Chains A and B, each alone.
Chain A
Amino acid sequence: MNFLKHYIRILLRKRTISAITIGGYAISMAVIFILLAFIVNERSINKGFENADNIYRVIRADMNSDVPQTFLDDVKGKVPGIEKVCLYSISNGLYRFNNKQYMAKFLATNDDFFDIFSFDFIYRTGNTNLHSDYNIYLTQQFSEKLYGNNTPFGETLEIGQNTYHIVGVISNPPLHSSFDFDVVTTLNKSVSYAGISYNEEVHKMFGSFILLNKNTLMDNTIGQIEGMIGHWQAFTDQKLSLQPLHEVYFDTKKHDNLKHANVSMILLLTAVAVIILLMTILNYANITISTGHERHMEIGIRKATGANKRNIFMQLIAESLFISFLSMFLAIVIAELVSPFFSQVLGKQVDLWSLLTQPKIIGLGLLIFLATGFFSGIYPALSITRITPIQVINRTNVFTKKGNRGGIIAVQFFFTIVLITSLMFINKQINFVKHKDLGFDREQIMRLSLKGETPEKWQLLKEKLKTNPDIVSISATHGSPFAIYSSSSGSFNDSHGRKVEDVKIIGIDDDFLGTFGLTLVNGNNLTSSNSNTCIINQHLFNYLEWDNFEGKEVFGSEVIGIVKDFNHINLYNPIGHLQLKKLEGNPSFLNIKIKGDVANAIQFVYKTLQEVEPGTPFNYQFYDDWIHSMYEKEEKQAYAIQLFSILAIIISCFGLVGIMNHITNRRVKEIGIRKVNGARISEILTMLNKDFVRWVAIAFVIATPIAYYAMHKWLQNFAYKTNLSWWIFALAGLLALGIALLTVSWQSWRAATRNPVEALRDE
């Protein structure tokens, strides 16, 4: 305790350097805390369920996550390891309350869902369950929204044209889970879902979750499930796999209407956090050594008065623990202050205090605290304890050896170059995806969702809308580009006996091609008279290896045209098989191409919709906005990563200034003598900068292949990849060099322009 008192006096005397040391350390730790809170939170998602470790979902060989509705009967009670099975779909729908229509999120499932995910029944009438098609459950928050604190005892809710009985209220879906819904309905009443058709078979498809017995061998179970659904023609020889629940959140490739996060973002942010942590330790060590220079005298005296190496070592470690304690405290304050900003950047509430509820995290925090305090203390401690009193008494400079900091500097630059390279590539990739030609026209096309009873009146609506001169064309579709229903796909055997899998289907009318500016490579557009016809895309046509399509059919519809490939899923998936099928039944959207004044047109569409179906919600999106918003999430993530990388680069520069300060200080006398002997400032700058350039070069050589590998890995997340251009690596190296020369020159300029007499007198 005694020496801490004395250490505090040192800190107070050297206010500037103390503030830089503690402040820099605290800022870095605050950034690390925020990242940690975010990462830990993301990683904890879906892990809170009681059965989390034994819950899986079935993934098909074509990487889709849906199974036929018959799966329930096929598998339940027939495969020994499976304790519970549920199917589900999540969709938005309308309900009527107090004579007005509102949107809600509907989960269609079966009773096992509640057991698998351990939902509590807040209230439940008798033994009722979902087996009756007109029974529903509300979540607690939704019940409160509609009925306040009253239990909806015996209440009913109108959904679509039917009246449903509220038979219970369940606990809210956990915030830290993939689920978000308001109402639970039966599978049979699930909102119109298309299905897989195979020859005569038609399957309604759903997502699945199964609860496995702890002691079950997964491989056996998969085999048994494959056997059980293999009797359907559509699923013969279907290869399946089981995906553990904790992977579901990070699997963004499935169309499952669940909440997801991008795992590559988490990994990148984790990497950035680790880099910041390492650099913080390095920086702290550097500053301690640089300033420790002034403490050599003290250490020497302590040794002469009887201190051994251990005493000195313990003293320095204690000092560094003390500094980390101070900084930690400050870091928590800073993190708390800036967390709202970072919550926005990360698109997730960053809740620092939630970290405190998890003993593991407290342990980790303590470990980081001790580790940084310890490691950032050890390095300076080791170098300072080596000082012997005689060096101090004789006033010989302890650090007359040159270049013993090269390693550290190279490490700093290594991280900096890796960060800059990644930063530029992420930027380049995001731009690339954003500006990629989708192959269809997305400008000023409104997609109007038809809900409730409107789909039945679509023809009337279309006719009325057409009268407006600002509306160029209208296409009614079931599903749409970028929003194909998760289960609107199918597979069939082609003439060579090959299975053609995962053919996406959009139901269209004859205005579709015109509205989206699509061109036919061959054949004709659909006509309003011909039913049961379709157009397929080039991709599917080429795959089928047909000479021509005359007389050919896909899913029982006659192929009459081939459309030029366009991106119909999203930019994370490559273009696949697509059938544009003559719309049968009612559409889910009207796609309205507008020219001229958009605001007027929107107003017109709204009025017309109300005329046709009074009280129906006006739900629309513009493709360009919507696609933009899809990338906005990506952009936001990229922005978050870039921001943290820039913070890391700044922290790194900060360390460089520290080192440079130390080195120039050490050479002040040398610089003075050289100047007295007539050296020019430029010559001195060159001398000081030369070493740094060498270290940047070494760091560059090591960092480039590592950055290349990392970016190569990252780009594998994307179906469309930007090039790993060499110039980015070169530019990153140059930038690092620029940063080096700037920080170094700033310091060396000060040293070089100093009056030499002053410098020499200091000794």
Chain B
Amino acid sequence: MLVILKKNTYTIMITLKNIYKYYDNKFQRTFVLKDVNLSIGEGEFVSIMGPSGAGKSTLLNIIGMLDQPNEGEYFFMDQPAHELKEKKKTEFHRNYVGFIFQAFHLIDEMTVAENIETPLIYKGVKSKERQAMVADMLDRFNMVAKKDLFPSQLSGGQQQLVGIARAIVGKPKLLLADEPTGNLHSDQGKEIMKLLQKLNEEGITIIQVTHNEEFAKCGKRIIKLMDGRVESDETTNHPPTP
């Protein structure tokens, strides 16, 4: 069940301490993240910005536990994520987090309904309940008529809607979105941003990466990355509507 929080002071969800990430080539070590320190509270809506190659995706993947830092500590809801076993990580993916990708990453051979259903299957939700939850999502995103279509039969905006539906159907606490509007026209993009804001109001913590200043301002906090370092970290108290 989702607990709706409406507080000004957040309980801490994510804590990053002295995070380093680097890749070793033959001759040199390239740092992608250098001494990143962050804490993000439950219910926040954070936008990460920065030039290409700054390490935004890497940071997001580390938070989403798809990637590991080389050095530093990461606590998720007081659990030391850097020490978590594979099993616990899967549990984290199943119960706490949803991903939205720039390229949507829907499964081509699955219908809209089946794509949305996938995380529920891995979560072990019973079939009946699954159908109900998927139906809810379709209803909510006005896609009931499209439920039996395949991704290739949808527009980009619609595909991303399915992507979001899939990400939130399992009722995660945290939503990670890497350039969710990057492949969309600005109208479609605006729609997606509205949706994210709404989801945030309902209590989901959101961290998005974006290049779009306007969309970034939809979040309540903007973190700017430069060369793997946090350059600035600002909180905007009154987010505008896109």
State the A residues within 8 Å of B (CB).
2, 6-7, 9-10, 13, 297-298, 300-309, 311, 388-390, 392-394
Contacts and interface: CB of A to CB of B under 8 A. Distances in A.
A165 to B, nearest CB: 79
Interface in B95-114: 99, 101, 105-110, 114
Contacts of B123: 306
B141 interface: no
Given A390-B61, A393-B101, A306 B119 contact: yes
Nearest to A305: B119
Interface string B17-30: 00000000000000
Contacts of B108: 13, 298
A638 to B, nearest CB: 49
Contacts of A394: 57
Given A305-B93, A305-B122, A308-B86, A390 B66 contact: yes
A388 B178 CA distance: 17
A763 to B, nearest CB: 14
Contacts of A304: 64, 66, 93, 99, 105
Contacts of A9: 109-110
Interface string B55-74: 00100010010110000000
A301 B105 contact: yes
B114 A6 contact: yes
A394 B110 CA distance: 22
Nearest to A7: B109
Contacts of B57: 393-394
B79 to A, nearest CB: 17
Contacts of A10: 109
Contacts of B87: 308
Contacts of A393: 57, 61, 66, 101, 105, 178
10 closest cross-chain pairs (CB), A and B: A306-B122, A306-B94, A9-B109, A308-B90, A305-B119, A390-B66, A306-B93, A301-B105, A6-B109, A307-B122
Contacts of A392: 105
Interface string B173-198: 00000100000000000000000000
Contacts of A297: 105
Contacts of B101: 393
Given A9-B109, A10-B109, A306 B90 contact: yes
Contacts of B166: 305
A308 B122 CA distance: 8
Nearest to B178: A393
Nearest to A300: B105
A300 B178 CA distance: 15
Contacts of B119: 305-306
Nearest to A12: B109
A201 to B, nearest CB: 86
B61 to A, nearest CB: 6
27 contacts: A2-B114, A2-B121, A6-B107, A6-B109, A6-B110, A6-B114, A9-B110, A297-B105, A301-B105, A301-B106, A301-B107, A302-B122, A304-B66, A305-B93, A305-B166, A306-B90, A306-B94, A306-B119, A307-B90, A309-B86, A388-B66, A390-B61, A390-B66, A390-B67, A392-B105, A393-B105, A393-B178
Contacts of B118: 302, 305
B212 to A, nearest CB: 20
Contacts of B178: 393
B170 interface: yes
From B99, B166, B178, name the one whose CB has the most chain A CB atoms within 10 angstroms: B99
Contact of B99 (A305, A308, A309): A305
B228 to A, nearest CB: 16
A297 B108 CA distance: 10
B170 A306 contact: yes
A394 B58 CA distance: 10
A301 B107 CA distance: 8
Contacts of A301: 105-107
Interface string B204-218: 000000000000000
From B57, B86, B109, B121, name the one whose CB has the most chain A CB atoms within 10 angstroms: B109
A211 B119 CA distance: 70
B180 to A, nearest CB: 13
A4 to B, nearest CB: 11
A680 to B, nearest CB: 29
A6 B121 CA distance: 14
